[in-house]
Structure 1
Amino acid sequence: MGSTTDSSVSYYLYQPSHVLPAVFAAVVGISMLLHVFQNLFWRVTFFVTWGGILFTTGWILRCISSYHPGNMNLYIAQSVFIYLAPPVYSAAAYNLVGRLMNYVPMHAVLNPNRVLIFFVYVGAAVESITVAGAAKNAAAGSDLSQYKSGGILIAAGLILQAVVECLVVAIVVTFHVRAARAGPVPRNVKTVCFTLYGTSTFVLLRCIFRAVEAFEMFQNIGCSENCGPILSNEWYLYAFELGPMLIFTYWLNLLHPGRYLPREKCRYLDMDKSTERHGPGWIDNRSSWATIVDPLDLEGMRKGQPSHDTYWLRPEEFPVCQDGSFADGTASNKKSGSRSRRYRGVNSKGAEV
């Protein structure tokens, strides 16, 4: 099994479907194209588009590989792309958490502008570990040590991603509870929170499936047939790898965050939970390195003196957005007009801005 192409062997432990990968490549591709179109107006979900490109590529390669099951390069490529896409999809949720906390800064759990940076770096580590493991595992052939080391890397990447998803959920729950304690939560904020709960749940479901699959691999190292239900049946892959990610991406098509949150990070919801103002954005008085090392501002919490500017307590300094409110469902990112026109209002000195 060491050759790149061998017509007498198959790297699959079952007869792979020729039709299903092609069908689902088209289904994933349709969602990806919808995100491309939606982001022309709403943006926010660039990472879903990028993840869709990777996932579509993976299923196209799997379709080609199904006709050449003994081609090692094709088998490795389809494995890597399919493994690679879910962590990229997850980055869209990380970006959404930051946008949500920029919109309602008074309930932010950590620096909104560091959320994406922090989680993307962690996500990059997850991707690197997972891809390395998938490549080693797919290319192992009869080399049991390489097969085992690849499985260990995959398991480590899955555990790390599961931990990250749990952390994201914990941040959103904390934010949601803080907002609820301050009074009724606006509908758009609730929609985004429940979207994040749902998408994270599906990513966790996929992680659990892959973890069980990895455990089965360890139990059947060197096996060539009847290697356990997951390894010996292709439908598990479609049900628990493809299925959750399809729901993830179409969920964001149907309930696109751009319908519920403003494109501009500086636009925030006032304390009355209806008026929206154009503020200065999140201002952290610490150095950039300090915000990365301590995104939760644990030092400020310990001293009882948060390091960020509480600009939302000075609403008279910032102009009211005149194009409606996302909280009331009267604003849209599709509306035209310059920023100066959108945010025209009166500041604390009575001057028009």
Structure 2
Amino acid sequence: MAIEKSLYAYSPSHVLPIVFAALVGASLVVHILQNYRYRYWRITFFMFWGGAVFTTGWIVRCISTYHPGQLGLFIAQAVCIYGGPPIYSAAEYNILGRLMHYLPMHAPLNPSRVLYFFLYLGIVVEAVTAAGAARLAAARDDISLYQSGAVLISVGLVLQAVIECLFMGMVAWLHRRCVLSGMLAPNVRTICIMLYGTSTLILLRCVYRAIEAFSTIASPTSCLGLCRAILWHEWYVFAFEAAPMVLYTYWLNIIHPGRFLPRQSTRYLDPDGRTERDGPGWIESRATWWTFFDPFDLRGRAKGQLHHEAFWLQPEKWLVCSDTSYAQRSFAKSRPAWLP
């Protein structure tokens, strides 16, 4: 009986892929339960989708380790594992959009278009990454196919890193505006810190994958030094791909946005930093298609005449929410018990 030639550069672990599949899968189940509890599916749906794809990737990888020469299994696990993190990132974009609805006076763009703005960029990353992963996995001894796959993955990873930096910059903009205006309620601060942290984990994973891809472009057949260490040792994959994403999912479960931000996009925080009102939501005087084309209203900013209504400047028109505000709940939780 002929010995099956392995597509892996090392002897892959049979146990660790299923361990990480179980960890990500358990986090996915918890997230589903929390989404039902807080009715937050619309905002964090991408956590479910990304979790399903990423868990599938590790399950398929486990199967692939028992059939290391099966090209189909090898490609499937590579595409799912590479494709999960960009989908996870989309959950962050939706959370930031909801945070901007909660703080409309500090939003640099239409809050309803935050997801679309980053999603347009994310679709490019997802397509380039998936295509690169498929080419890399199918290359075998085809050097040109191997190099083209590595190039595509490198480009996708650099783009994703740039997008994450842009995202963190936008969170920092909102955070700074809240600090300067005295509106940094504990729930807002918690969400900002969570978004910084999860984005950093995505960025760490991008750096690892970029180093891996760039180190193999020039000479995949004579891989030495860092390239050899990364490609010939499986623990790098678990330490810099799997572990950061597991931390990412559990962080978002611990700091589930449903606990800190309202589900309704019309509910916003009053400038006093405690009261919440039920407003009209973000109102644009431009055509809908134009808000997709120019979510930042650059034309209006250039003319000094923005096209959205500053409804928060007339608080007397909007009813105060009858239940305890998310900001007040967070103030109560952050207040030491020994204070009067």
Would you say same fold, with TM above 0.5?
yes
Indicate the residue corresponding to 1:57 in structure 2.
Answer: 56
Aligned to 1:99: 98
Does the CA contact (< 8 Å) of 2:183 and 2:272 recur in 1? no
1:18 paired with 2:17, answer: no
Equivalent AA in structure 2 for residue 128 of structure 1:
A
Deviation of the 1:224 alpha carbon = 8.5
| 1:28 and 1:56 in contact (8 A); partners too | yes
1:82-136 alpha-carbon deviations (Å, 9 max, x no partner): 0010000000000011000000101111110000112112211111110010001
The answer for the alignment partner of 2:36 in structure 1 is 40
Residue type of the alignment partner of 1:318: W
Structure 1 residues 225, 211: closer, same or farther in 2, change over 3 A? Answer: closer
Query: 1:282-304, CA deviations, whole angstroms, 9 ceiling, x for partnerless residues?
Result: 11111223212221112222221
Q: Deviations over 1:326-352 (max 9, x none)?
A: 001179xxxxxxxxxxxxxxxxxxxxx
What are the residue-to-residue correspondences of 1:268-287 with 2, within 5 Å?
268-287=268-287
Corresponding residue number in structure 2 for 1:267: 267
Q: Which residue of 1 aligns with 2:197?
A: 198
Amino acid at match of 2:188: V
For residues 138 and 151 of structure 2, the distance between their equivalents in structure 1, rounded to whole angstroms, comes to 15
1:41 and 1:121 mapped to 2: Cα distance? 30
Indicate the residue corresponding to 1:251 in structure 2. Answer: 251
Identity of aligned residues (%): 55
Alignment of 1:204-223 (within 5 A): 204-223=203-222
SS, match of residue 222 in structure 1: helix
1:328 aligns with 2:328: yes
Indicate the residue corresponding to 2:240 in structure 1: 240
Q: Report the equivalent of 1:343.
A: none
- Greater shift, 316-325 or 229-238, is seen at 316-325
What does residue 317 of structure 1 align with?
317
Distance 2:178 2:210 in 1: 35
Cα distance, 1:292–1:51 mapped onto 2, change above 3 Å: same
Runs in 1 of length 4+ with deviation above 6 angstroms?
A: none
In 1, the alpha carbon distance for the partners of 2:49 and 2:269 equals 30
For 1:139 and 1:22, the matched residues in 2 are separated by 23
Determine if the alignment matches structure 1 residue 152 to structure 2 residue 151: yes
The 1:223/1:63 distance shift into structure 2, 3 A limit, reads farther
Aligned to 2:67: 68
The answer to whether the 8 Å contact 2:183/2:271 transfers is no
Q: Report SS of the residue matched to 1:308.
A: coil
Letter in 2 for 1:41: R
CA deviation profile, 1:213-235 (whole Å, cap 9, x unmatched): 00121244135899610000000
Cα deviation code 1:4-36 (max 9, x no counterpart)? xx8431110000000000111001100000000
Residues 225 and 304 of structure 1, relative CA distance in 2, 3 Å threshold: closer
How far apart in 1 are the matches of 2:298 and 2:142?
A: 48
Tell me which amino acid in the other structure corresponds to 1:252.
L
Matches within 5 A, 1:69-84: 69-84=68-83
TM-score, with structure 2 as normaliser: 0.93
Q: Residue in 1 aligned with 2:290?
A: 290
CA–CA distance in structure 1, aligned partners of residues 244 and 293 of structure 2: 33
Structure 2: gaps (5+ residues): 332-340
Contact kept in structure 2, 1:213 and 1:230, CA below 8 Å = yes
Shift of 1:280: 0.8
Task: Give the TM-score, by structure 1 length.
Answer: 0.89
Per-residue deviation, 1:264: 0.6
Check 1:16–1:183 CA distance in 2 against 1; reply closer, same or farther (3 A cut): same
Deviations 1:184-226, CA, capped at 9 Å, x for gaps: 5100000011111001111000000000000121244135899
**Which residue of structure 2 aligns with residue 116 of structure 1?**
115
The one-letter code of the counterpart of 1:281 is G
Task: Report how far residue 145 of structure 1 moved.
Answer: 0.8
Cα deviation, residue 279, structure 1: 0.8
Counterparts of 1:7 and 1:223 in 2: how far apart (Å)?
25
Q: Quote the Cα distance in structure 2 between the aligned partners of 1:144 and 1:171.
A: 41
Question: 1:253: Cα distance to partner?
Answer: 0.7
* 8 A Cα contact 1:142 1:222, kept in partner: no
**Residues 13 and 330 (structure 1), Cα distance of their counterparts in 2 relative to 1, 3 Å cut:** closer
Give the distance between the partners of 1:276 and 1:174, measured in 2 at CA.
Answer: 22
Letter in 1 for 2:15: V
Give the CA RMSD over aligned residues. 1.6
Residue-pair matches, total: 326
Tell me whether 297-306 or 131-140 shows the greater mean CA deviation. Answer: 297-306
Instruction: Identify the structure with the greater helix proportion.
Output: 2
